[in-house]
Structure 1
Amino acid sequence: MLNVKVDADRGLVILEPDGALTDNDFRLAAQLIDPVIEKAGSLAGIIIRTRSFPGWNSFAALVSHLRFVREHHKSVKRIAFVTDSPVGSFAQAIGNHFISAQIRHFTFDEFEAARRWILFGE
């Protein structure tokens, strides 16, 4: 399951995986996020917060995840990976080559720092 919190006024989305990600998780996330992007033109950022990366429950879920990234990365200014998983550092290193948004890794306990970076560039 993917918990999605949308702060439309600030253009901030918080994604918190709770267990292996499913194909449907990304469709539901897009349904919540797309109207905000449509209204504002972009998001200030997305925070992906999880202590450890849960993976996907199927190949279809991985494909949906990649499609979600492809369809949304140009509409997001910053992406913060807030996790103690090594995936956060990997995502920052690799993502910066393929995603137009700025990407930064924070430890799980640095949520507020990630939020300030997304909203204020601190």
Structure 2
Amino acid sequence: MGEDGILRVTVTGTVSQSDIEQFAEQFEKAASDQEKVRMLIELKDFEGWDFKGLWADLRFDVSHQDQMERIAILGDKRWEDWGTALSDPFFKAELKFFETDERAAAEAWLQA
């Protein structure tokens, strides 16, 4: 967790169930420090999820949606429609996608 209260996560390769479990530990710590969590998720060479990883991610999203306030996703445009469409039914948090070179805009939006 940064000093600005933003949880930053970098996602690479294929996300597995163990990746989600490790992230859940980070998130739980952040959620214990503040009521609502703002996150910057950076996708680098992201290839998607394996089946167990996708299932674990969806379960996590549903069970923690009340603790999420804003989520900025920074990455390749090809994941925008797929990722936001998949998560929309499960998220109460504001979710916004930013191109890889829009880090400053993503940070500003999270802090607004």
Structure 2: where are the runs of 5+ without partners?
Answer: none
Larger deviation, residues 18-27 vs 85-94:
85-94
Correspondence 1:101 to 2:93: yes
Shift of 1:23: 0.9
Q: Give the CA RMSD over aligned residues.
A: 1.9
Give the Cα separation in 2 of the matches to 1:17 and 1:72. Answer: 19
Corresponding residue number in structure 1 for 2:75: 83
* Fraction of identical pairs, as percent: 24
Shift of 1:49: 1.1
Out of 8, 12, 20, the residue aligned to residue 18 of structure 1 is 12
Higher relative contact order (CA 8 A, sep 6+): 2
Give the Cα separation in 1 of the matches to 2:45 and 2:84. Answer: 15
Q: Deviations over 1:40-92 (max 9, x none)?
A: 1111x111111453112x32111111112112222111111111232223333
Aligned residue-pair number: 112
CA contact (8 A) 1:79 1:103 kept: yes
Q: 1:62 to 1:81 in 2, by over 3 A?
A: same
What is the TM-score with the length of structure 1 in the denominator?
0.78
Give the Cα separation in 2 of the matches to 1:51 and 1:26. Answer: 16
Out of 74, 84, 87, the residue aligned to residue 92 of structure 1 is 84
What is the TM-score with the length of structure 2 in the denominator?
0.84
Corresponding residue number in structure 1 for 2:48: 55
Q: 1:85 to 1:53 in 2, by over 3 A?
A: farther
Q: Deviations over 1:1-23 (max 9, x none)?
A: xxxxx22x433112211211111
SS at match of 1:55: strand
Out of 22, 26, 45, the residue aligned to residue 28 of structure 1 is 22
From the two aligned structures, give the one with the greater strand fraction.
2
